[in-house]
Structure 1
Amino acid sequence: MFAISDLHLSFNKPVGLTNIDHEKDIEKPMDVFGWDHHYDRVRDAWLEVVAEGDTVLIPGDISWALRLEQARYDFDWINALPGRKILSPGNHCYYAQSKKKVRQTLPEQMEWIDADYTLAEGYIIAGTRGWNLPGEPGWDESSDRRIYDRQIGRLEMALSAAVKDHPEKERIVMLHYPPVTPKIPDSDFMRVMRDYQVKTCLYGHLHGRSHRDALVGEYGGLHLQLVSCDYLDFKPVPVHL
């Protein structure tokens, strides 16, 4: 089982895995962030490590698309790569206003989880977006608290259903936002994951210099794994099992 997040794709038409025209086929190039032709790097690394029978978890920021019709170009490109793909939302997934519609749009071999779960390779995979943490710079109690509390509830709903249905299976959580930071060493996301004995939490969202402060490894009773695309040098990595 592998993971990679924050692919930030933006194809503006159907494209193949190769021979992508950087000038004509890309709606929002990532060159400004130093991610020159990053889709080629993702493709080559993916083909190197992922086999058809593997699972790849992608926690958020898959596509820049504002509408599902355009996101489909990015989904189709990912679908052409080997493996079963399990996706969950990030803060830039503006097309994901309806879970039902996203699921109707996704190609086969791709799944969307949000406040629910699926099973993969004998594990429970539960997911939700997450949110900024109380006390972080930029936190606005009047606007952020409601979203934060809702995301906590969505994570608990997913894990509660999963554990009720499959109490014997180990649990992996996909978040987009980190559940802790150096400034906020604990959170309700961590509390819920501890309550449900989650084994590993995958998260993304952090880029560039913020990688240096990311909390990874054994922490707070579970394993934290940062899987942002650029943090991984654009190569899917094995999930800590």
Structure 2
Amino acid sequence: MKVWALADLHLPIGNPSKNMEVFGPTWNNYVKRIETNWKKVIGKEDLVLIAGDISWAMKLEDALKDLEWIDALPGTKVILKGNHDYWWPSSSKLAAALPPSIHFIHNNAYNHNGVTIGGCRLWDTTEYNFSKHIVFQKNPLAKKKKKDPEKEQKIFERDLARLRMSLEKLDPNAPYRVAMTHYPPIGADLHPSATSKILEEFKINVCVFGHLHNVKKERPLFGEKNGILYLFTAADYLNFEPVLIKA
């Protein structure tokens, strides 16, 4: 079994009015490219981690069209909620609706062939920013919202607590420990953060995440720190090719 990751699929099957192709050539024909690249490398026995922003759908019944598309691809998949996954319902409703090859992380852990996985979406934090690593582009799909710093910090702290709750449920006997977050858990320079301290406490081997787009590829990003590999897996950054985590 190999373990792969690819975040930020932003599938538009369930909501065709929202499609990442509006962002230019980088996203041209991206759904087909994901499918082609996925089938080239991922086998039916493999495990695939999708760290958020899965579907543009607003309701579960529409998102199921995207989830069924993912289900038809090879491998066992583990998904995590992203900030654009507005369709994400309660855990009980999601568990009942998911196609058979897809599992989810939300205040829980998932174990598969010696790999134990936990995580949480996270949120924006003032601990670090990525402005120098991003080519800013106007988002034609975005609605302008004025941010409340105090509220944003409360959301971040709540998600840190949820991260801890999930990691506490990891299998203590599993030889490989994975954390999934949607927002980056650490700055690009790997300076210690509130999240990285929790990940180190739980002896995580690798943390996969996404969220950032239009990232400059000529700048080094993330890497290994204190025994944890921080792996940025946004689909457009990876040219829509799943990245191998564990062979």
TM-score by length of 2: 0.85
Contact 1:178–1:204 (Cα < 8 Å) also in 2:
yes
Three-state SS of the structure 1 residue aligned to 2:151 is helix
The farther-off stretch of 75-84 and 153-162 is 153-162
In 2: Cα distance, 1:128 partner to 1:12 partner: 24
Gap runs ≥5 in structure 2: 130-145
Corresponding residue number in structure 1 for 2:21 = 31
The farther-off stretch of 38-47 and 104-113 is 104-113
1:239 is the counterpart of 2:229: no
Corresponding residue number in structure 1 for 2:141 = none
The farther-off stretch of 91-100 and 44-53 is 91-100
Contact 1:133–1:184 (Cα < 8 Å) also in 2:
no
Which of 140, 147, 161 is 1:153 aligned to?
Answer: 161
In 2: Cα distance, 1:214 partner to 1:8 partner: 25
RMSD value over aligned CA atoms? 2.2
1:1-241 alignment runs, 5 A limit: 1-12=3-14, 26-34=16-24, 35-136=27-128, 140-162=148-170, 165-182=171-188, 185-209=191-215, 215-240=221-246
Three-state SS of the structure 1 residue aligned to 2:168 is helix
1:212–1:97 Cα change, 3 Å: farther
Deviations 1:163-182 (A, max 9, x none): xx434533110000001124
1:126–1:211 Cα change, 3 Å: farther
In 2: Cα distance, 1:176 partner to 1:60 partner: 5
Gap runs ≥5 in structure 1: 14-25
Size of the aligned set, in residue pairs, is 227
CA shift for structure 1 position 209: 3.0
Write the letter of the residue equivalent to 2:99: P
The farther-off stretch of 213-222 and 39-48 is 213-222
1:42–1:147 Cα change, 3 Å: same
Write the letter of the residue equivalent to 1:216: F
Contact 1:65–1:95 (Cα < 8 Å) also in 2:
yes
The farther-off stretch of 27-36 and 68-77 is 27-36
Contact 2:123–2:159 (Cα < 8 Å) also in 1:
yes
Three-state SS of the structure 2 residue aligned to 1:198 is coil
1:53–1:184 Cα change, 3 Å: closer
The farther-off stretch of 137-146 and 47-56 is 137-146
Q: Would you identify which runs of 4 or more consecutive aligned residues in structure 1 move more than 2 Å?
A: 134-141, 165-170, 182-186, 209-216
In 2: Cα distance, 1:90 partner to 1:216 partner: 20
In 2: Cα distance, 1:120 partner to 1:181 partner: 29
CA shift for structure 1 position 119: 1.0
CA shift for structure 1 position 12: 3.5
1:219–1:139 Cα change, 3 Å: farther
Deviations 1:107-159 (A, max 9, x none): 00110111211112311111210111234569854111211111111111111
In 2: Cα distance, 1:168 partner to 1:121 partner: 9
